[in-house]
Amino acid sequence: MQDRLRRQVAIENPSRYLEFNTSTLTEAEFLDELVRRSGCSLLVDINNIVVSAHNIGLDPAEWLNELPEEAIVEYHLAGHALNEADGEVVFIDDHGSRVSEAVWLLFDDVLSRFGARPTLIEWDTDIPPLNVLLGEAERARRALARAEMSHAALAA
């Protein structure tokens, strides 16, 4: 696809709801291999990591450890819904609510590991009043600014 388009594409990690019975690679290992073989970049969706971690029992820190830092070009943040299925709570990536505290905390971890990157807050359903959207954007902006200051201090 990149050869045909003559440009690099960014691949996003998906939200997962089920685990495969057998797999030879973790999702992060697969993404690392995909980057290595294709030269694509990565769009890291932090909400999708939180959703998948809850639903299939991943450790977000371990998942992040396997990512190729140099390939990460963008972050996504979003809200998710909580649904019940067979007596278990399932997180659903619905882009229809505020970014959860778990996502904000993981975003801070991602920023401390990899540094600031362009960041998008996805909100596709149940669009709230503008002041709510601006508040979410401001919180992300503050986190990115802290990360930039921290990385600048380390580089000095």
What pLDDT digit, counting tens, does each position of 55-109 carry?
999 999 999 998 999 999 999 999 999 999 899 999 999 999 999 999 999 999 9
Going by pLDDT thresholds of 50, 70 and 90, the confidence category of residue 26 is confident
Tokens 């290992």 identify what position?
29
Q: CA 130 to CA 52: how far, in whole Å?
A: 29
Q: What CA–CA distance (Å, rounded) separates 50 from 93?
A: 9
How high is the pLDDT of residue 93? Answer: 95
Between vectors from CA 38 to CA 11 and to CA 45, what angle results, nearest 5°? 15
Nearest to 122 by CA among 46, 51, 27: 46
Stretch 4-14: mean pLDDT: 93
What is the domain extent for residue 74? 2-155
DSSP 41-76: EEEEEHHHHHHHHHHHT--HHHHHHTS-GGGEEEEE
Q: Give the chain's domain count.
A: 1
Q: What is the pLDDT of residue 83?
A: 94
Are 16 and 54 spatial neighbours (Cβ–Cβ below 8 Å)?
Answer: no
Pull the structure tokens for residue 154. 């380390």
pLDDT score at 102: 96
Predicted pLDDT of residue 111:
97
Does the pLDDT of residue 155 top 90, yes or no?
Answer: no
Please give the average per-residue pLDDT across 22-32, as a whole number: 87
CATH number at residue 101: 3.20.20.150
